Amino acid sequence: MTQHFIVVGGGMIGLASALGLRRQGHRVTLVEQGDAPSYSDETELRVSAIAHHSRALLTELGVWQNLPAERLGPYTAMEVWDHDSFGRIAFAANEVNQTDLGAIIENRVLETHLWQAAADAGVELLAQTAVQNHKVSTDEVSVEAGGQRIRGDYLVAADGVNSPLRQAAGLPLTFWDYQQQGCVAVIRCSQPHNGCARQVFLPTGPVAWLPLADPHHVSLVWSADTEFAQQLQQLDDSDFIKQLQAVSDQCLGQLELASTRAYFPLRMQYAKRWLQQRLILIGDAAHSIHPLAGQGANLGFGDVHDLLTVTATEFTSAELRHWERQRKVAAVQMIATMESFKRGFGNAWPVPKLLRGIGLRLADRIAPLKRALIKSALG
Ligand SMILES: Cc1cc2nc3c(=O)[nH]c(=O)nc-3n(C[C@H](O)[C@H](O)[C@H](O)COP(=O)(O)OP(=O)(O)OC[C@H]3O[C@@H](n4cnc5c(N)ncnc54)[C@H](O)[C@@H]3O)c2cc1C
């Protein structure tokens, strides 16, 4: 039986869910408070490393194959090292018989193509329309948006990390502040990145350089303890680049800023309940994690994939509750992994430092262990 889903939020996750639900024959209305997404020739600041399972979903939705190749940065290798010890590990896609380990895409580019595909598929798209309030009961939902009341069968909250719908529904959160900020920017590098995603762990947080389509451009994600991040924020561009150069261990040669810089507070949070009668939380509205392994959006695409498995045929509330339980387990496992990485590498004491140096070296040399690590990085 077809249902009417109201999706609130036109980010990557809301759009993917709206498109998938529409493709299954459901009626879908998507409400987004901002403009319909679009992009220019300039590289966007926000990018995501898309894992194989997310790419499979986006291919199934008919979107991946239409993304412009000149805006996609497939990465075939990864290098992770510890700035303060001898620990280093390098992965290559061919070690697990893959052609790449994933691809870097600008969020805005992906959102634009998802939006177009959703429009073509017949999703009712309402841009510049904020949801003011909502009602959920045992047999229907409704939202007040842009001066009209829209009624439906299910309400999907994909309205991001601060989710007004989650807050209005009073769904409690588990959270901790990482007390770090993420600085993002586009960097021009004198040496080609060769399709390698690089990350160095400093005691103040990890710094990642993600390869973009241009062989001399990378996307920087510098996660830094708040105090240090505030110092970075106050530096002018030339002093900022000097600091970045110093922590890069010359892995990409001479670095230059090719964009402005933007800063985001980093916080782990996850909603204790993702379902309330006919309200369903997905994506960052349900969980947000540290960007160090680039898995936040991938976790959201996992929510969408599994939700679409439930909605493909007639479903019961028990099946939705099963979906909630499964997805919570996936989110908690990811949060725990991020936390152990962050704590393990954020420690400047000599013994943990020595242990992580030995650990990384061993993992780099023991082939089965390394293959297992690559597979978990593939998502
Ligand atoms: C620095 C950084 C780097 C990251 N790198 C990666 C990475 O490499 N790989 C990865 O997988 N993830 C990464 N992430 C995480 C990823 O960006 C997010 O998980 C993802 O963008 C969440 O998408 P979303 O659609 O759930 O939410 P959002 O993109 O936040 O979308 C929510 C939408 O809801 C709309 N909205 C909100 N309230 C209302 C309302 N009342 N009415 C109507 N619309 C509303 C907003 O306008 C917005 O468009 C990173 C995050 C950060 C901070």
What's the mean pLDDT in 341-350? Answer: 59
Determine how many CB atoms are found less than 10 A away from the CB of residue 338. 19
Atom of ligand 1 nearest to the CA of 161: 30
What's the mean pLDDT in 118-133? Answer: 97
The per-residue pLDDT for range 45-84, each reduced to its tens digit, is: 999 999 999 999 999 999 999 999 999 999 999 898 888 7
In testing the pocket of ligand 1, which one of 33, 134, 280 has its CB within 8 Å of the most ligand atoms? Answer: 33
Top-confidence range, 10-19, 352-361, 367-376: 10-19
pLDDT band at 328 (very low <50, low <70, confident <90, very high): very high
Q: What is the pLDDT of residue 192?
A: 98
The secondary structure of residue 37, as a DSSP letter, is P
Cα-to-centroid distance, 188 and ligand 1 (Å): 25
pLDDT at 290 over 90: no
Distance CA 164, CA 125 (A): 19
Q: What is the pLDDT of residue 353?
A: 57
Residue 337 vs residue 78, higher pLDDT: 78
What's the mean pLDDT in 1-16? Answer: 97
pLDDT at 293 over 80: no
Cα-to-centroid distance, 11 and ligand 1 (Å): 6
Q: Which of 294, 350, 363, 377 is nearest to 81 (CA)?
A: 363
pLDDT at 361 over 80: no
pLDDT at 309 over 60: yes
| Element holding 201 (H helix, E strand) | strand 196-202
Q: What is the pLDDT of residue 343?
A: 65
In testing the pocket of ligand 1, which one of 284, 295, 304 has its CB within 8 Å of the most ligand atoms? Answer: 284
201 with 83: CB under 8 angstroms?
yes
Residue 254 vs residue 290, higher pLDDT: 254
Q: What is the pLDDT of residue 372?
A: 61
Ligand 1 pocket list (CB less than 6 A): 8-14, 31-34, 48-49, 107, 130-131, 158-160, 164, 182, 184, 221, 264, 283-284, 291, 294-298, 300
pLDDT band at 167 (very low <50, low <70, confident <90, very high): very high
Q: Going from the N-terminus, what domains does the chain have, and what CATH number goes with each?
A: 4-38+107-175+267-340 (3.50.50.60), 71-104+179-266+347-378 (3.30.9.10)
Distance CA 201, CA 353 (A): 11
Tokens of 305: 């994939």
CA distances from residue 338 to 79, 205, 289, 365, 374 in whole angstroms, order as listed = 17, 12, 8, 23, 16
Atom of ligand 1 nearest to the CA of 223: 1
Atom of ligand 1 nearest to the CA of 12: 25
pLDDT at 134 over 70: yes
Q: What is the pLDDT of residue 291?
A: 82
Average pLDDT, the chain: 90
In testing the pocket of ligand 1, which one of 47, 114, 150, 159 has its CB within 8 Å of the most ligand atoms? Answer: 159
Treating both helix axes as pointing N-terminal to C-terminal, what angle do 12-23 and 296-311 enclose, rounded to 10 degrees? Answer: 20
Cα-to-centroid distance, 2 and ligand 1 (Å): 28
